[in-house]
Copies of this chain bind each other. A is one copy, B any other.
Amino acid sequence: MSNKQILAAIVSIGDEILNGTTINTNASWISTQLQPLGISIHEVIAISDNAQHITSCLESYLNRVQLIVITGGLGPTKDDITKKTLCTLFGSELVFDQDIYNRLKETFEKRNIPFTENNRDQAMYPNNCRVLPNALGTAQGMWFDRNGTIVVSLPGVPFEMKGLMTDQVIPLIRQTFTLPVILNRYFMTSGISESYLARQLESVEDKLPDYIGLAYLPSPAVVKLRLTAQGRPVSEMEEMLNRLSAEVSGILGSGIYAFEPVLLEEHIGKLLKESGKTLSIAESCTGGKLSHKITSVPGSSAYFPGSMVTYSYAIKTSHLQVPEEVLQTYGAVSQETIEYMLDGALRQFGSDYAIAISGIAGPDGGTPEKPVGTVWIGVAGNGDRFIKKHFFNKNREINIEYACMFALHELRLLLSKHLAKPAQ
């Protein structure tokens, strides 16, 4: 164990990232993988497929950081110059690797793609690097050690990069560096604003020792809290984290839905699956996005028979039996309509629980009494129900996202009450 700070730079090579065509999700993913190892990200940079640019960028990092992770520029086209540039920079010779060659040939033959001698280039690798075999693609990773600074080059295709990072780079990093021990504790909260959480936790913040940090990571309806300890003996850190965790749990109580980083839709899926209950949904303004969230969880068919998007008045009446006079009198965005939508969903799908949402996502459709962003959300089941009016003062896309996330929050409160199990 050591307290020496290990710094990393993440270098993304490719014009498509520079010009904004591709959002640099690789870099953020790599950051999230390195951080828990106790590696600090010094800089994240995107540069062009240009040898001089790549060289000067890497040279500038070689003396500043201990780890450089490069993605991109390893494909077979003439734009892809990362390998050649690294050879020049590190004085490498390209050598032929028979194993890689055989593997490539086999892959091509399996896919019925003609294998030409041009593909031989894809089996040539620098003689002074460790080749990291890529099980998911044709470009291998490379691991260079330059006087103690590690330079890793990975393909830019996200799932290939992720496979190599997980299976090879991270284990090698653990072997190579003396990593600090970092201990994390998570608290997933929903329905509480970041500023309210901060006020609630003032007493905890005040007594945090200098080797423990508390981070607030907010997203719609959910704030992830993370306590991070570093730099003391494990037993001391464990003990302090236990004490602080008990305190945080005591203060936030049922505001916490989990003690590990899980999405609200995953948590709800787990609750439903474990209790053998089912859920259906009647969506209006969210237009299918809430159903999509529920079904994005693998195995959701076990507890989700289906849902309806009832966008028009007529379909609300014909499919969910919302009476026409209710729609005419109170409007689709009203507590009364939500009551009928909940009943309709429970009856139509024969489910144990139901969610109903109706609102004005925008940009049009608002009125002085019901401005854009007004959303009614209801959850029901087990003879119990909860209906609430929300106001999300955002654009269409974000109003929809907030409505979905608050609906999940309210469902989890109802489920927790009925299933009477502590959050876990």
Which chain A residues have a beta carbon within 8 Å of chain B's beta carbons? 16-25, 27-32, 35, 41-48, 159, 217, 281, 283, 286-292, 294-296, 298-301, 304-312, 314-315, 319, 348-349, 362-365, 395-397, 400
Contact = CB atoms under 8 A, between A and B. Distances in A.
A257 to B, nearest CB: 19
B310 A306 contact: yes
A310 B309 CA distance: 11
A41 B24 CA distance: 15
A182 B362 CA distance: 34
Given A17-B44, A19-B41, A23-B28, A295 B306 contact: no
A159 B295 contact: no
B27 A27 contact: no
B24 A20 contact: no
Contacts of A294: 287-288
A185 B13 CA distance: 26
A26 to B, nearest CB: 10
B300 A306 contact: no
Nearest to A31: B20
11 contacts: A19-B35, A20-B30, A20-B41, A21-B32, A24-B28, A44-B46, A287-B291, A296-B396, A298-B363, A305-B311, A306-B311
B22 A28 contact: yes
A12 to B, nearest CB: 8
B45 A31 contact: no
**Which 8 pairs across A and B sit closest by C-beta, in order of nearness?**
A287-B295, A288-B291, A20-B31, A288-B288, A20-B28, A20-B32, A288-B292, A44-B46
Contacts of A397: 296
A281 to B, nearest CB: 8
A43 B47 contact: yes
Contact of A289 (B288, B349, B362, B396): B288
Contacts of A298: 362-364, 396
Nearest to A315: B306
Given A17-B44, A295-B311, A301-B311, 16 more contacts: A16-B217, A20-B27, A20-B41, A21-B32, A23-B28, A24-B24, A287-B291, A288-B291, A288-B292, A288-B309, A298-B363, A299-B364, A301-B312, A304-B311, A305-B314, A305-B315
B309 A291 contact: yes
Nearest to A33: B20
